[in-house]
Amino acid sequence: MSKQLLRSGTSIGANVREAEQAESKADFIQKLSIALKEANETEYWLDLLQETKFLNNSEYIGIQIDIKELSIRLDDIGKSNWFMKNIGYSILRKN
């Protein structure tokens, strides 16, 4: 389980880094979407490690807070970019 946590946790950063060099807005959104999915998977493995006592409560809470905050930020970025790509630009063009 700890190897899965490491894999999914490091994949978040790798996908965010790839998004920084995206070839298009769609590519950017896709990379951030993958990063968010990896954050969700990381949270799953973190929960299992805590439930099986591989992590104590203070370790779990510290990491859990960080992963929740990261997930919220990735979701916000993805939603705002999706909105601009699918709705916002057409509204701006009309004005």
* Single-letter residue type at 82: W
Q: What is the pLDDT of residues 18-71, one digit of tens each?
A: 988 888 888 888 888 899 999 999 999 999 999 999 999 999 999 999 999 999
Residues 6+ apart with CB under 8 A from 77: 32
The lowest-confidence range among 6-10, 14-18, 85-89, 90-94 is: 90-94
CA 77-69-44 angle, to 5 degrees, is 105
pLDDT at 19: 87
pLDDT at 35: 93
How many angstroms separate the Cα of 78 from the Cα of each of 41, 60, 62, 64, 95?
Answer: 17, 26, 25, 21, 24
Task: Write out the two tokens for 40.
Answer: 């969700």
pLDDT at 15: 92
* pTM of this structure: 0.78
Instruction: Identify the three-state secondary structure at position 2.
Output: helix
